[in-house]
Amino acid sequence: MKKFVMMVAAVLVVAVVVEGSEGFSLCNMSEDDLMTCKPAVSKPSPVDPSPECCKALSGADLTCLCSYKNSETLPFLGIDPDLAMALPSKCNLTPPASC
For residue 83, is it within any domain?
Answer: yes
Digit-coded pLDDT (tens) for 25-83: 889 999 999 999 999 999 999 999 999 999 999 999 999 999 988 988 889 888 999 99
How far are the Cα atoms of 10, 18, 39, 85 from residue 45, in angstroms, in the given order?
Answer: 24, 28, 8, 16
pLDDT for position 22 = 56
How many domains would you assign to the chain? 1
pLDDT for 85 beyond 60 = yes
- Given a contact cutoff of 8 angstroms between Cβ atoms, the answer to whether 62 and 56 are in contact is no
What is this structure's pTM?
Answer: 0.73
Structural domain range at position 49: 26-91
Note whether residue 42 is domain-resident.
Answer: yes
For 33, other C-beta atoms within 10 Å of its C-beta total 21
The answer as to whether 3 is a domain residue is no
Q: What is residue 17's predicted lDDT score, i.e. its pLDDT?
A: 44
Cα atoms found within 13 Å of the Cα of residue 48, Cβ hemisphere only? 5
**Residue 82 belongs to a domain:** yes
Cα angle: 66, vertex 70, 9; to 5 degrees: 105
First to last CA, the chain: 30
Would 76 be classed as within a structural domain? yes
